[in-house]
Amino acid sequence: MRAVLGGADESPEPGSFDLRYVTGAGPCPVTPAEAGVVSFETALPVRGFVSYKGQRNYPGRWWSATASSHVGYESWLERDHLMLLDFDPDVAAIASQPFWLSWTTPAGKTRSHAPDFFARHHDGSAVVIDCRPLHRIKPKDAAKFDATRQVCDQLGWQYRVVGAPDAIVVGNVRWLAGYRHPRHDQPDVARLLLATFAEPVALMDGAQAAGDPIAVLPVLFHLLWCHQLVTDLSLPLHEATPVHAGRATA
């Protein structure tokens, strides 16, 4: 399908795609044929995260437990999806603003787009993500997303345009994210918790059975973040939430 904006054909000309990513050595241009072997998950952001007075979006940097480093975001929507990528046990690495994608329209105009995130999975597959409230996707945005999807299809990458995630899931994961740092990994307490929750047990009952909840709960939440303990995060997390040992399913 061709994207037409105000009568102008915005679809990419065949073979006109180019990508450009950034490393410590500077910008690196590649063709789609070359991009499949590039480690975009280690690329630097192709543009900065600007803050200024009166700004309507809220950029920042998220400390990623997956990457053990900070990853930038340009809005709270991006922050929430970055947090969910960080929580995803299948994700091995995450980069924000990973590359510029450029193409030429039939009218000879150059268009470009920098996706929000690139994530590499443990199995080597990849996903490119753009975050935009679905009701705010304008025709020019749809044209850029369509072009990005075409390139991702060529490379065998997944491509997603995502809006607001489920509020309960986000709230639960945000709570667990407070315990994502490895300092909450206490092996002796973790062993007690994994044994206690071998079968489903209410969260607080299990914490009390393993010891002083003040000392145990941070480790319990860390194990939930790491998917060593699991529960249904589509429901509000509370003291009676059933928790059990095992890896969460997608």
27 and 90: one domain? yes
171 and 152: one domain? no
pLDDT value of residue 116: 97
pLDDT value of residue 27: 94
Residue 227, judged by CB atoms within 10 A of its CB (0-12, 13-18, 19+), counts as middle
pLDDT value of residue 53: 74
List per-block mean pLDDT (blocks of 10 residues) for the chain, which spans 250 residues.
Answer: 51 80 94 93 90 78 95 96 98 97 88 96 97 90 93 96 97 98 96 96 97 97 97 97 74
The DSSP code for 108 is S
The domain in which residue 124 lies consists of: 4-162
pLDDT value of residue 9: 66
pLDDT value of residue 250: 33
Last residue of a domain, one of 115, 143, 162: 162
User: Amino acid identity of 158?
Assistant: Q
135 and 13: one domain? yes
* Residue 250 lies inside a defined structural domain of this protein: no
103 and 185: one domain? no
Pairing of strands 18-23, 8-9: unpaired
pLDDT value of residue 8: 54
105 and 54: one domain? yes
135 and 204: one domain? no
pLDDT value of residue 1: 43
49 and 137: one domain? yes
DSSP 1-24: ---EETTEE-SPPTT--EEEEEET
Split into its structural domains, the chain has a count of 2
* Residue 127 lies inside a defined structural domain of this protein: yes
User: Could you tell me the CA-to-CA distances from 156 to 72, 131, 197 in Å, in that order?
Assistant: 25, 20, 40
